[in-house]
Chain A
């Protein structure tokens, strides 16, 4: 077990270093960092001095080393556009994105998995068919369109929910939450549904496909042949075997939610990291892009690590040393 986790940790570090290298290359070689930091009227001498002070004349490994060291401490330099430290900007906006993403993830999993199981078990029921048709529409509607339709219906026509922003937020230390006020919660409903819907349909279709696959296996057939009831076959035998492949993909999907938040945040003008990122892309604000890239990678690596450990817990075949088997 320890060896297994150690190996995975090592891989994660390599992945992070690779991503950091890309982020650094972005930062260093896309556009001229000095030009982006100073105004038109800065003299050549001042530019050279700034270049020296920022260490841009050092060798590549030294610069990269410094970048990694800073990144590890959360420092990604100054935003070209906002003229403020990127770390401050991220800290300000992270709570909005995280609250939205987490709620959507819970929604997607809590609804997606049971629907997938249901449609697999009652394959030909009318409700299953309805779910399947709806899910096909769900994956065919782009996220931004879902958001716009929701705004049109609940914001413009019915006027039930706010169409942009986070509503009133409460400051808990450095964390700002919208979960403690009515207007905050109302503002969260539409963005969360928008963000969750696509992942939900994806999870549902995945669970269904995997479960149907498991229901065709010999051991399910053998279970039926020895008189085990459907309830047992479905939930104790099939579901557990379904979860093994599903865990990995759900892990990846959760990472995707943070990125898809960019779209949702744009539609609802949600003041999170995604909105900041898309503005950074439009304005070529490289430090923010680099920081965002590294952050997404970190989230991915952490989720993957959790998934690997879960895998280990669910599947006994991984737990036993292969050398000890075969007797």
Chain B
């Protein structure tokens, strides 16, 4: 019998400016033991489905049409008390962020035992036995010991295992996993997906896996539903969706995933999305202000050279030196970046990539080591005034489009700030002209100038960031995970823009990312980092085809095997 049937569901959120329909006419089914993937970009309404099924829609959201049935029995019309008995005992839920999903003040044991007893009504000792067995089943070593610990004593991946164990406490028939691996590192991500797959198979549990990541879907799901703006545009088996998508949106979504196995000139665009736009032609950058007066003298072969860089943070202060704790974020790193090249840094979170970027741009002062930029030792520059001409030549683009722009400033003021600060324009009118041109260059248009950042989407904000970075006419641009907060379709547009600008302005770039396929598309040479150390540096193609270091090989193995629909074309 079909485990879960959702038929014609609509969820609406009433607001002052009219009802917002989050989900419209949704019809899906899940069989026992089956994993149904729901994929879509942010704002597609994926998470609302999970909340609606377990009856925990955030007010004022409500289900206004359709029905939900579990084993053929309607659950959307139940009373609150009845819905509660469905939650946990028949449907389990796993949330995105394991760091905030667990009660910090209770031991894992208490949380597990209380959940088991509440759902199954067994005795304390029985529950205790089950709790240890569950921890063992989700792959936590020494479960009998670790069960006595508090959540903060577990790492992110281990906490997500605990969360999964908690979701399994009531022996549910259906699990809803809402972006269960998004907050985790690649290597941990693979383990958690394997665990979920195994659990569904062994316990004959059905699962709805909600994600934005096509790679996760390809590795895990049996069937897929593709969502766009609150509607399912296409359903089918995973193979069918990935290899022969029918709907235009699915096609462009899949083609936008950068292929890990080859290098393309440009990223394929998701043409289905309305606000996709390319840069208008007509600006000749070589003769424009941006390209002009780039009076940096003769381009030396080596633009940036880092030698024996070391960065140590104090994580616990104490008057007694022996009680102090340190974190060595960057350990003895040396590298060199040639003029005009794109140098990639890849590694998992905490590997020290971003720290290097922040040292080079002067946000952090290194503990020791040397940084030579165009032949000048930057660590020897003591005052801000002394460093200013060099600061102007290097700019940075940040990861989070929502925090990288001051929400209280208009776009034109954001972009004009570096121009005024470095006295790059003779008068206000000239500055204004430059701002307008910059907005054109990044594909936003002059009408964006008078608006505030919150009026733009994530991808558009990232374009504003790029315009700001270009406003000092830099020759060295650091991109710190510039697209990891963006949807895959938007990512392609932003990366194409960066690539074009790099070529036209002959920029030197340090490109930081955890995403190997993106690195492959963008970079000429790549350095691999782990725990603050630079493990190897190679030409990009060499690195992907013939990795020298074991860790690099490990990372490459973890890359999603999914190779997109785009590989059939061009």
A interface list, Cβ under 8 A from B = 217-219, 221-229, 232, 236-237, 240-241, 244, 314-317, 320, 322-327
A225 and B105 within 8 A (CB):
no
Of B95, B101, B103, B115, chain A has the most CB atoms within 10 Å of the CB of B103
Beyond the given pairs A226-B87, A317-B104, 16 more chain A to chain B contacts, judged by CB atoms under 8 angstroms and listed by A's residue number, are: A219-B100, A222-B163, A222-B166, A225-B88, A226-B115, A226-B166, A226-B170, A227-B86, A227-B88, A227-B118, A227-B170, A228-B88, A228-B114, A229-B84, A241-B104, A323-B325
Residues in B neighbouring A325, C-beta threshold 8 A: 152-153
A222 to B160, CA, bound (A): 12
B interface list, Cβ under 8 A from A = 54, 56, 84-89, 92-93, 95, 97, 100-107, 114-115, 118-119, 150, 152-155, 158, 163, 166-167, 169-170, 315-316, 325
A322 and B100 within 8 A (CB):
no
B93 and A226 within 8 A (CB):
yes
A222 and B105 within 8 A (CB):
no
B153 and A320 within 8 A (CB):
yes
**What would 19 A/B residue contacts be, using CB atoms closer than 8 Å?**
A219-B104, A222-B102, A222-B166, A225-B54, A226-B87, A226-B88, A226-B92, A227-B115, A227-B119, A232-B114, A236-B114, A241-B103, A315-B105, A317-B104, A317-B150, A322-B316, A326-B155, A327-B153, A327-B154
A224 and B56 within 8 A (CB):
yes
Q: Smallest distance from the beta carbon of B53 to chain A beta carbons, Å? A: 10
Query: Which residue of chain B lies nearest to A320 when distances are taken between CB atoms in the complex?
Result: B153
Q: Smallest distance from the beta carbon of B148 to chain A beta carbons, Å? A: 11
A217 to B88, CA, bound (A): 18
Residues in B neighbouring A221, C-beta threshold 8 A: 56, 95
A219 to B101, CA, bound (A): 4
Of A218, A240, A320, which is within 8 A of B101 by CB? A218
Residues in B neighbouring A227, C-beta threshold 8 A: 84-89, 115, 118-119, 170
A237 to B54, CA, bound (A): 20
B103 and A223 within 8 A (CB):
yes
Of B85, B114, B325, which is within 8 A of A322 by CB? B325
Query: In terms of DSSP, what is the predominant structure of the interface of chain A?
Result: helix
A107 to B89, CA, bound (A): 42
Number of A-B contacts (CB under 8 A): 95
Of B54, B97, B104, B163, chain A has the most CB atoms within 10 Å of the CB of B104
Residues in A neighbouring B105, C-beta threshold 8 A: 240-241, 244, 314-316
Q: Smallest distance from the beta carbon of B179 to chain A beta carbons, Å? A: 12
- 10 smallest beta-carbon distances between A and B, as pairs: A227-B88, A225-B93, A218-B100, A226-B88, A227-B87, A316-B150, A222-B101, A219-B103, A317-B152, A240-B105
Residues in B neighbouring A236, C-beta threshold 8 A: 106, 114
A326 to B93, CA, bound (A): 25
> Known contacts being A320-B153, A327-B153, is A225 close to B87, with CB within 8 Å?
yes
Residues in B neighbouring A244, C-beta threshold 8 A: 105
Of A229, A244, A327, chain B has the most CB atoms within 10 Å of the CB of A327
Residues in B neighbouring A315, C-beta threshold 8 A: 104-105
Residues in A neighbouring B169, C-beta threshold 8 A: 226
Q: Smallest distance from the beta carbon of B103 to chain A beta carbons, Å? A: 5
A244 to B105, CA, bound (A): 10
Residues in A neighbouring B114, C-beta threshold 8 A: 228, 232, 236
Q: Smallest distance from the beta carbon of B130 to chain A beta carbons, Å? A: 14
A240 to B111, CA, bound (A): 14
B152 and A316 within 8 A (CB):
yes
Q: Smallest distance from the beta carbon of B416 to chain A beta carbons, Å? A: 39
Q: Smallest distance from the beta carbon of B101 to chain A beta carbons, Å? A: 5
Residues in B neighbouring A314, C-beta threshold 8 A: 105
Residues in B neighbouring A320, C-beta threshold 8 A: 150, 152-153
A232 to B155, CA, bound (A): 27
Q: Smallest distance from the beta carbon of A43 to chain B beta carbons, Å? A: 54
A322 to B368, CA, bound (A): 26
Residues in B neighbouring A218, C-beta threshold 8 A: 95, 97, 100-101
Residues in A neighbouring B54, C-beta threshold 8 A: 225
Residues in B neighbouring A228, C-beta threshold 8 A: 88, 114-115, 118
